Amino acid sequence: MTIPAQMPAPDALRAANIHPETGLATDYLNHFNEVVMLLEMLPDMPDCVDDVLAWSPCGYEDHFQRTGYSGRETVIAAWRAAPRAMRAHFETLIAALDDVIADLQARVRAGDLAGAAQAARDEAEPLLAAARAAVHGHVTGETDPDPDAVQSSVDALFGQGAQS
């Protein structure tokens, strides 16, 4: 029998920018944010093609190991201790995002920069938004996230009170 991983202490989670309830860190999504941003800029900046085509999928733990993230041990421990349903939902979103970006790269290779840019907005951005929401405990298909509730969650994560 395998003993479940222990969630790191709340202070360690805050220090590593990890949501305390989900065990997920938004920093992983930077891997996707960058390529989606580049895809959206391609019609005006075609010199970014090589950067878009150089992108490749990278798993959650691998991302934090590769980037040398200062809180990587905490991030990985939290990921392993995260609720299974949350991780499964997040991994499903990430797999879909990986597939969409691979399709967009194929469009770029075919020379359809404008089409790839539009598809990045129409297909990749909504998946990224759903992944961001998942990090904060919102599971797609429930109710639409309340922006004030999301901000309150972020403020609570970083120990900030309501700003007036």
The three-class DSSP label of residue 140 is coil
Output the CA–CA distances (angstroms, integers) from residue 112 to 52, 68, 91, in the order listed: 13, 35, 29
pLDDT at 144: 44
Of 151, 26, 141, nearest in space to 94 by CA: 26
Instruction: Give the whole-angstrom CA distance, residue 140 versus residue 31.
Output: 21
pLDDT at 50: 97
18: β partners: 25
pTM over 0.85: no
pLDDT at 8 over 80: yes
Which residues have a Cβ under 8 Å from the Cβ of 2 and sit 6 or more positions away? Answer: none
- Backbone angle region of 44, left / alpha / beta, with phi > 0 → left and psi within -120 to 50 → alpha: alpha
25: β partners: 18
pLDDT in tens, 122-164: 999 999 999 999 999 887 554 444 444 444 444 444 454 444 3
DSSP per-residue codes, 23-82 = --BGGGGHHHHHHHHHHHHTTT-GGGHHHHHH-----HHHHHHHHT-TTHHHHHHHHHHS
Instruction: Give the whole-angstrom CA distance, residue 63 versus residue 157.
Output: 22
pLDDT in tens, 37-94: 999 999 999 999 999 999 999 999 999 999 888 889 999 999 999 999 999 999 999 9
Q: Please, what is the end-to-end C-alpha distance for the chain in angstroms?
A: 50
Which residues have a Cβ under 8 Å from the Cβ of 17 and sit 6 or more positions away? Answer: 25, 26, 27, 71, 157
